[in-house]
Amino acid sequence: MQCALDSKAKVEVGVQIVGRWILARLRNRRFFSLAALNEAIHALLIDLNNRPLRSWGRSRRELFEELDRPALTPLPDEPYEYAEWKRCRVNLDYHVEIAKHYYSVPHNLVHEEVEARITLKTVEIFLRGKRVASHLRSILPHRPTTISEHMPSSHRRYRDWTHERIRSEAAKVGPDAETLIDVILRSRPHPEQGFRSAIGILGLVKRYGAERVDAACARALLLNARSYKSVAAILKNATDKAAPPAQEAPVLFHANIRGRSYYN
């Protein structure tokens, strides 16, 4: 500890000597740009480093070349990059949340606590010091970045589908199918979790036709059923062909409307 303090003191004294020596020679000069000032300081610094030291009989430059340069190690291949670290819990959908964006990790790490290294361009995920995932950083809020290798095999079959493609195919079936599939995608924490139900509903068109599937989706919306199984059951039981159940008119509540209890 004492050795470190002595070294620190020597370095500070050296900086002080350099500062005073250069400032003394520049005190009466005027500079009109930072570049001109830096050029004058650089010239004086070369002069100072080439002057012999009284106690050593050699210059600072000679001592540096003899003692310091051989001990130097090469600079890193890449410049230093600032990074932040964050502890995360892997969600059920095998993604972690970083700045409102979701990044995938291998699906077998669900519920594990991991660490994220966040830089301006990348997000790296570590489990007990071992990197398990690396992504380009995204600034799109509430959207996922998913690597297909991180997905369980049951999910990989949907990797060629996109939100836009699913909604486009649903619109071709009919307005109620489009509405139901949009509700399914929006009701999940991450839209990809609804891909299986949405694509399954679209697949029913081959068996039952677009008109019946759209009618079944209308019945499912009426029943607040948001799954492939519900639509498939409606089609199987042919309830899409039946008249919709009668519904009572909704009860309206408003500050200016008094209920019957007010008059009783």
Does the reported pTM lie above 0.85?
no
pLDDT score, position 158: 62
Map tokens 């950083």 to a residue. Answer: 137
- Would the pLDDT of 123 be above 70? yes
Query: What pLDDT digit, counting tens, does each position of 31-54 carry?
Result: 999 999 999 999 999 999 999 988
How close are the terminal C-alpha atoms of the chain, in Å? 89
Flag whether pLDDT at 132 surpasses 90. yes
Q: Is the pLDDT of residue 19 over 70?
A: yes
Beta strands in the chain (DSSP E): 84-89, 95-98, 101-104, 113-118, 122-127, 130-136, 144-145
In this structure, what token pair is assigned to residue 184?
A: 């399914």
Beta strand 113-118 pairing with 95-98? unpaired
Q: What residue has token string 């303090």?
A: 5
At 190 the pLDDT is 60
Q: Give the pLDDT confidence of 180-236 residue by residue, as tens digits.
A: 999 988 887 666 667 878 888 998 999 999 999 999 999 999 998 888 889 999 999
Give the pLDDT confidence score for residue 245 in this predicted structure: 57
For the record, the structure tokens of 44 come out as 């004086």
pLDDT at residue 91, as a whole number: 85
